[in-house]
Amino acid sequence: MFDFRKDKQISFDPHHMDDHGIDVIHPRRESKRGIWIEGLRLFRDIFLIVVVFILIGVFAVQPVVVEGTSMVPQLQDGERLLVNKLVYYKIDSVSWGHIERGDIVVFWYPKEPDKSYVKRVIGMPGETVEVRDGKVYIDGTELKEDYLDTEHNQALPTWPAKRIEDHYYFVMGDNRDNSSDSRYWGLVPEKYIYGKAFFRYWKPQDMGFLEHGRYENMPEPPLKDLRAEDQ
């Protein structure tokens, strides 16, 4: 009824085929190896992130500091901005890749190229700009500038008409009573513009994208003629 024979012993044949794939694991050695591999992966990821940020800083985005009050109320002295540098490469197929009226641009001051200025683009290549009693006219049509503050635009000066040459821009500060701009020292060469500001990251309470000028009553600038000359 009961079988009191000894339990059958399971034999392990060291030469059995099923044992050929078994690895002998040394926990301490494997632990060190795992830490080393993870460390290399972490270093690789950090290196790639640094490279990407360097490439972005060199070719796409650059931080700048606002100095002065020529762009109030839009920009205040000491604020930090991010500047899109794609305009330097003239990528017309992308809205960020070319200059438009109303853009806030950063450029080398033509009179002293070692200095940088920040102003708003008012006149485009091929247009004629005139200021009458503080109001700007483009080819005879008044430019509606809703972003201006009357507190900083009380002088209401008059300036003679100025024809904008190809590959040049007419820029002005939003603080018309206290801005050194194209009215005083002339046009900005296209090659001197190295970016347009699009985001304010300091001060924190004013963080956000910058206001772009909108001009519903203005015709499109004569860009086709310029492109034809470039070809």
Q: Is 135 a catalytic residue?
A: no
From the candidates 6, 31, 70, 180, give the one annotated as an active-site residue: 70
Strands 159-163 and 168-172: unpaired
Cross-strand partners of 132: 135
Handedness of CA 31, 33, 39, 44 (dihedral sign): negative
- Residue 93 is a catalytic residue: no
**In Å, what is the CA distance from 36 to each residue of 23, 25, 193, 199?**
20, 17, 48, 41
Active-site entry in 85, 119, 179, 196: 119
Phi and psi based region of residue 134 (left: phi greater than 0; alpha: psi -120 to 50; beta: remaining): left
> In terms of DSSP H, where are the helices of 13-116?
27-59
Q: How many residues does the chain have?
A: 231
Q: How big, in percent rounded to 5, are the helix, strand and coil portions of the chain?
A: 30, 25, 45
Number of CB atoms found within 10 A of residue 125's CB: 19
C-beta of residue 107 within 8 angstroms of C-beta of residue 194: yes
In this structure, what token pair is assigned to residue 19?
Answer: 């044992």
- Residues marked active site are found at 70, 119
